[in-house]
A and B are shown apart, each in its own frame.
Chain A
Amino acid sequence: MGVGVFAFLGTLAVISALGVILQRSPVHSLLALVATLLALSGLMIGLGAVAIGFLQAIVYVGAIMVLFLFVIWLLNLQRDPGEPGRLAVKFFGAIAVAALVAELFAFFVRAPMSPMETSSSYGSVDRLADLIFSRYLVAFEVASLMLLVAVVGAVAVARRWPGDEARPNGAVGADRPVLQQARRA
């Protein structure tokens, strides 16, 4: 990847990341986050991690961010009125941010800056698939199992069970342990 392209995408990523926290409207913040993710996936693709770069665009931009958009719509989030925060929050927040910046600085100063030797197929789909389905097969399967469990759990918590219809507002599971519902299923 040329230096110019890298500088452009990097600047775009930083500016849009700032946009995420500086915008008052949640939808604008979300769009800035989408731009950040696209810039990052462009950087990854340029640096040779083709599969990860495209997967980030597909999964995060194409699916997860759209779900965020739904959450913003359904919760009817409005523009942040921009109330001044409490002094204590600002004070400790500033300290935390300073500590984070110092830590990152210390990390990058010590990080090796010489380019790593990589093969030409590094980061390609073939190479990634080889690793996932041989060396990291168990980790990969366990991760997908965990995701499946999370999905089933989310459905079990959110779903209306027989007898819940009488309850006004459908406040399911608000007064009952989730486990008890799951046992009845």
Chain B
Amino acid sequence: MLINLLIDTAKAIVAVLLVLNLSAVLLWFERKGSALIQDRIGANRAAIFGIGRRLGMPNLGVTNTFVADPLKMFTKEDFVPDQADKFLHALAPFLSLFPVLITFAVVPFGDRLIIGSRVIDLQVCQLDAGVLYLLAALGVGVYGAALAGWASNNRWALLGGVRASAQMISYELAMGLAIIAIVMTFGTLDLQDICRQQGSVWFGWLPKWGILYQPLAFLLLFTAGIAETKRIPFDMPEGESELIAGYFTEYSGGKQAAFMLTDFAEVVLVSALVTTFFFGGWQVPYLHPDGLHFPGVGPILLPNLIVALLGVVAFGMKVVFFCWLQILLRWTLPRFRYDQLMYLGWKVLLPLGLLNLAATAVVIVALG
């Protein structure tokens, strides 16, 4: 009983820490990556004793991003505007971050790990209605940005909040339709089960990943997911050339850091969802619970610990790849206009999603 509780706690802590740390790494990656794309040097301040320079390395900005900036953020004055709604102003950053973090409870990050007679499923919470939980948590996530804008008593912030909530509601529809197509394909709402079903192969060599069943749903989910993260090209809620900084204009210090962290956690979330639904989650091609089964070659047997670890590493690598892709998109594409955003959401993605759903239904019925 107690040991089960400890295992569950450990899984929850590991999942949350992974997301938070990956978010911090993404911040560093975004700074240096954007500098690379724009032919700048990027973050290069605040070295400790110049260790890197003495070793002949360029300043990578690691101290800058991981030590100096967080210190600066959390020691800054926490400014609250005079006429603001103090309670909601303080609540909004947490209301923004919390729903994103709890979403990872149903995302499986590995297969079963067997220690002695104990079987540990590498998923924080096994839930039959996992997809519904996911959609509910995403729905609650709208309030953070919306209330931040309203509580700040600032017209730019309010405009940003209105834009954020309208955008997130619009794109949640396309996201939901893409996820429903996947649910119809695999016939389950349990994310771990969806991952397991992507483990077998076609023709003896082609892994049955979701992207091969639902390529259109992948595009829909990825596009709508990027819109949910509220980053360029979908960053109208913050649009600094129009709205100063949008819904978090009046935030400083740690609360502003919470909003920034939310953005990066959402990037990780979108990557995790795309990986789980379309790229096999923790599946490594040809890796079965007892070892590697390459087509045409005899099985290479591996112990369970290695197999489980390989799964976790594969999941991590796929997630990092899609994070990288999102950062690349963010520094490549220009910002949409607001009417273009609404046009894309309601007149392109939504009809495509419905069409995809109808086509999926027809195919499922035709194949029996």
B296 CB, nearest partner CB in chain A, Å = 40
Q: Which of B132, B138, B146, B172 is A51 in contact with, Cβ under 8 Å? A: B132
Q: Is the CB of A27 within 8 A of B150?
A: yes
A2 CB, nearest partner CB in chain B, Å = 14
Complex interface: chain A residues within 8 A of B142 (CB): 62, 66
Q: Is the CB of A27 within 8 A of B139?
A: no
Q: Is the CB of B132 within 8 A of A58?
A: yes
Interface size class of A (residues with CB under 8 A): 20 to 34
Interface size class of B (residues with CB under 8 A): 20 to 34
Please report whether the interface of chain A is mostly helix, strand, loop or mixed according to DSSP.
helix
Q: Is the CB of B189 within 8 A of A62?
A: no
Q: A27-B150, A70-B162, A73-B150 are in contact. Are A62 and B139 (CB under 8 A)?
A: yes
Within 8 A of A (CB), among B145-194: 146-147, 150, 158, 162, 165-166, 169, 172, 189
**Closest A residue to B189 using CB positions:** A125
Complex interface: chain A residues within 8 A of B162 (CB): 70, 73
A54 at the interface (CB under 8 A from B): yes
A69 at the interface (CB under 8 A from B): yes
Complex interface: chain B residues within 8 A of A50 (CB): 128-129, 132
Identify the interface centre among B139, B150, B165: most chain A CB within 10 Å of its CB.
Answer: B139
B166 CB, nearest partner CB in chain A, Å = 8
**Closest B residue to A56 using CB positions:** B136
Within 8 A of B (CB), among A27-63: 27-28, 31, 34, 38, 41, 50-51, 54-55, 57-58, 61-63
Q: Is the CB of B158 within 8 A of A124?
A: no
Complex interface: chain A residues within 8 A of B169 (CB): 63, 66
Q: A66-B165, A70-B165, A73-B150 are in contact. Are A54 and B139 (CB under 8 A)?
A: no
**Closest B residue to A69 using CB positions:** B146
Complex interface: chain A residues within 8 A of B136 (CB): 41, 54, 57-58, 61-62
Q: Is the CB of B143 within 8 A of A34?
A: yes
Q: Is the CB of B146 within 8 A of A124?
A: no
Complex interface: chain B residues within 8 A of A125 (CB): 128-129, 132, 189
Q: Is the CB of B139 within 8 A of A63?
A: yes
A116 CB, nearest partner CB in chain B, Å = 21
> Once bound together, how far apart are the Cα atoms of A61 and B136, in whole Å?
8
0/1 string, A3-38, CB within 8 A of B gives 1: 000000000000000000000010110010010001
Supply 11 further A-B pairs (C-beta < 8 A) apart from A38-B140, A50-B132, A73-B158.
A25-B85, A27-B150, A50-B129, A51-B129, A57-B136, A58-B132, A62-B142, A66-B142, A69-B165, A70-B162, A70-B166
**Can you sample 8 A-B contacts with CB below 8 Å?**
A28-B88, A31-B143, A54-B129, A54-B133, A62-B140, A62-B172, A73-B158, A73-B162
List residues of chain B with CB under 8 Å of any chain A CB.
Answer: 85, 88, 128-129, 132-133, 135-136, 138-140, 142-143, 146-147, 150, 158, 162, 165-166, 169, 172, 189
- 5 tightest A-B CB contacts, nearest first: A62-B139, A54-B132, A57-B136, A58-B136, A58-B135
